[in-house]
Each structure stands twice: as structure tokens, then as C-alpha cells.
Structure 1
């Protein structure tokens, strides 16, 4: 008798889950409703069909509803904080959301990335409403359009010469070593790890990478052993 009662309760519970799932699927056909974890192990994330602000997380079979922090939304591709991403980088695909600014200084939202003005060499990252200044890679300036650092010659109201600290020559003699790299002549930057490339008359500061340094003699990146003046660059 007790066994039958338990079985009936389990059937009723499963039926209720199915009904809730079906109602949500009909209302938000692009996303299945999640009312239980179908897998017992690992981590699975699912969009909340009713809201872009939250998602369902299954961790080793345990289901929880997680809410993104202010300024963040969920689409399954974010990694800024708790699997959520900056709101401007999320495609909610019809799921409801409403952004509520906190209006605290430069931090419009608790989580975000903000510019301090045109042609700035750094940007401000807000974490829980606290601003943190982050420098761009040398030679780059913050681009509001891409929410990242970019070549200064690609930005409006930006002087690449001021950012890079170099002015490309208007004319190059054919005997100048830089001329062999035309139409993108290159020049030493004063930093062993970087050099300057002129692109349509604008300077860009480029890194050698791969543990190589720039040789002022060959205007190429080489192993530090072959560039005596930069032999200790990576030993600092």
C-alpha cells in the first residue's frame, strides 16, 4: 500500500514537471524550460526562457536559478562573472530584460567597461560598482565602439603620433633600410620588444612576441642572443 502511494506521488510529480515545462515551451518556443537536471554529473547551463537576467545551472544533478549581476546578461557565452557577460555583448533573442543603471560616478552599472574620453590609453572596468583603471597595450587607445583597445589611427578624434610618440616620415629614400618594407616601413621604437610600423602614414606600435626582440640593424625580430643590446630584455 505504501509502495503504491509512493509510486503515485512520483508519477504526479513527474506529470506536474511535464506540465510546467510544456507551458513554458509554448510561451517561449525558442528555449526549453528547465525544471530538473537531466544529467547527474558535470556542469550544464540553460537560458531562462522568461528572462535574460537569469539562467539555470545544473551542477552534478543539482538545479539552481542564478541571477546575473547588474549590467550583465546571460546567453551561454559569457565569462565576465558567474557565466554572464556585459549586456552589450549578449543576444537575448527575445528573452525579456530591463537594465537599471546604478548611476555611481563612471560606473553606470555594477559591471561594465567605460571610456574616460576620446583617445585615452586606458579604460575603466567596474566590478560591483567599484572602478578599476586598466591600461591598454602600449600603442593602443580605447575604442567605445568595440569596447576594447584599438589602433589609434582607426579612432575619431585621436592623434596616433601622440599615442605612439612617433611621426612617420613623409618621404623615404630608397637607400633607407626602412624602405625595403614599403608600403609598411618599420622603425625602432626604443623598446627592445616593440617596433613601429607606418600604415598609410600613421604609426602603429607592434610587439615582436615569441620571446624575440627587435634588431635596429635588420629591422626584424630575432632571438635575443643575436641582438646584443637587447640580450637581457627578458631577464629583467
Structure 2
């Protein structure tokens, strides 16, 4: 889902890079290469595009930053989480809308249920789109990806998944021991605990979780409720 979201965003954003007269610093740069991009000192979202040695300053869409690692003619604007920019550098004023703090970006969803780490909002051209990670995963705003909730700093995995793991146990070498536990009312899903942190997993097709062994086994050997056929959403 993340890759589709990025693709859609980049395609739309590519039409929003604004042209502006090149500043004196850009003109004096004289474009050493015929076609290329150049950074604008002190700014995160501005850049200079050289076309046939002629410089013109451009501005990334609100919410995106110029990526100096991108080679011409590829689109040079990306999300701040993927583009390094000095904290002292300036950015353009936010062009907020009623539902989006920036024209482009990923943000916490204001309509998500409490402790729901899997729902988030994606903004494209100031329009909000409610998105949801796959079951059991949480959205990580530090890299704009869905990840295990115990690896997302902003997520309380226990509250999100509704499960508290037993105290962590370790083997003779001090390595944490993984344990699996039943997901109530659904025999095709289970909690996997490592170092006291839960993850919600599901058995492969044709298998069901066996609480006695703590493993997924042939579904015909596990007594399941007729209404429990899939991982809960």
C-alpha cells in the first residue's frame, strides 16, 4: 500500500513544482552542467534546475523537500522523512487546508479510534485520504511505512492489539524465547510474543492455531467456530 501511495503522490506532485526567477546566487552559479539540479543554500524545498545551461529556481510542493541525490531529469522532490535537510534551513509557509496541515504528506488521522496505530491520513494536493495498514501493523511516521507496532515509537502495541504478553523468558544463553498464544474468538490468528512485546500473526491457508502446541497445524485438526474464518480486521 505504501508504494502505491508514494507513486500516486509523486505523479500528482510533479505538476506542482513552481517556477520562479532565478536568484542572483543561481545566476552566478552559471550552471556548470547543461542539464542538472542545484540546491538553494538555506532552503529545504527550493532548488535550481539547469536547462541548456540556463538556471531557473523551482519550489517543491508544500510538504515535500528537494532531494539533492536525485539526478536530472528525475523528479527531485520527496518526503521529509526520506530527505535530509538541516533543521536551520527554511521551508515555505504551510498551505494548510481544512483537513490537511500541508498539501502533501502523511499525518495522524483525526478520526482514528483511540490507540489505533494502523489508521493514518495521506494528503495529496490538500485533499485527505484515510489509509489503513494491514491487520496487525502500525504506521510509522518516521519513515512513512507500516511496521510491527512494537517497532513504532508512537504506538502502544499492547493497547493497539489488545493483548499483554506474559513476562519475557530467556534461554540459557540469555536469548529471548518466542511464545505463541491464542487469539480469542478466532482460531486462524494468534499472538506471538518476544521480549514481552506482542505481534498479531495469522496461519497460512489451510492451517489453524493450536493452543496446545502453540503452532499452526492442519485446520481439520483444530476445533474452530464456524464464524471465525479469517484474521480479524
Per the alignment, residue 105 of structure 1 pairs with 98
Per residue, is there more helix in 1 or in 2? 1
CA distance in 2, matches of 1:167, 1:159: 11
Consecutive unaligned residues of structure 1, counting only runs of 5 or more, are 1-19, 26-32, 38-44, 173-181
**Contact conserved, 1:34 with 1:46, CA < 8 A, in 2?**
no
Considering only aligned residues, what root-mean-square deviation do their CA atoms show, in Å? 4.6
SS in 1 for 2:29: helix
Q: Matched residue pairs, number?
A: 181
SS in 2 for 1:109: coil
Structure label with greater radius of gyration: 1
Per the alignment, residue 200 of structure 2 pairs with 205
Deviation per residue, 1:85-120 (Å, 9 max, x gap) = 123432246996423112323411100111136733
Give the deviation of 1:73 after TM superposition. Answer: 1.1
CA distance in 2, matches of 1:67, 1:184: 50
CA distance in 1, matches of 2:93, 2:109: 21
Higher relative contact order (CA 8 A, sep 6+): 2
**TM-score calculated relative to the size of structure 1:** 0.54
Q: 1:152 to 1:83 in 2, by over 3 A?
A: same
Per the alignment, residue 119 of structure 1 pairs with 115
Structure 1 window deviating more from structure 2 (119-128 vs 138-147): it is 138-147
**Contact conserved, 1:141 with 1:151, CA < 8 A, in 2?**
yes
CA distance in 1, matches of 2:60, 2:128: 19
Per the alignment, residue 61 of structure 2 pairs with 69
- Deviation >6 Å, runs of 4+: 61-64
Consecutive unaligned residues of structure 2, counting only runs of 5 or more, are 1-24, 170-175
Per the alignment, residue 8 of structure 1 pairs with none
